[in-house]
Amino acid sequence: MDKVKTAFQNFGRVIVDPILYLSVTGIILAIATVCSLGSGVVADLGTLLSAATNSAVIGNLPVIFAVGLTAGFAKKQNPTRQCLDLLVTSCSCMSTTPT
């Protein structure tokens, strides 16, 4: 029973890391939305920031979660392995995307 409890605690610790990125993304999107309500250069900057955040983070949520989970479950931190995980996940996401 302790093994199951430890496994769930480990999973809970690992799943929090990718979710932390979402709170930062939400704050950036809120600032971008407020900026885009203005006019002139500030509105253009807000629109650009909103589009960049949406395409960079929101569009790649599966990749962020896959890399975050594999990095969290790794026994030791190995940047080479994490890059390989990112490459494999990206290739599998691209191959399953409908055209």
- Of 81 and 23, the structure prediction assigns the larger pLDDT to 23
Q: Once rounded to an integer, what is the mean pLDDT over residues 11-22?
A: 81
Measure CA 14 to chain center.
13
pLDDT at position 93 is 60
Global pTM value: 0.58
Place of tokens 């589009």: 51
Using alpha carbons, list the distances in angstroms from residue 91 to 33, 43, 85, 88.
33, 36, 10, 5
pLDDT at position 99 is 53
∠ CA 32-90-94, rounded to 5°: 95
Query: 3-state DSSP call for residue 38?
Result: coil
* CA gap 35, 37 in Å, rounded: 5
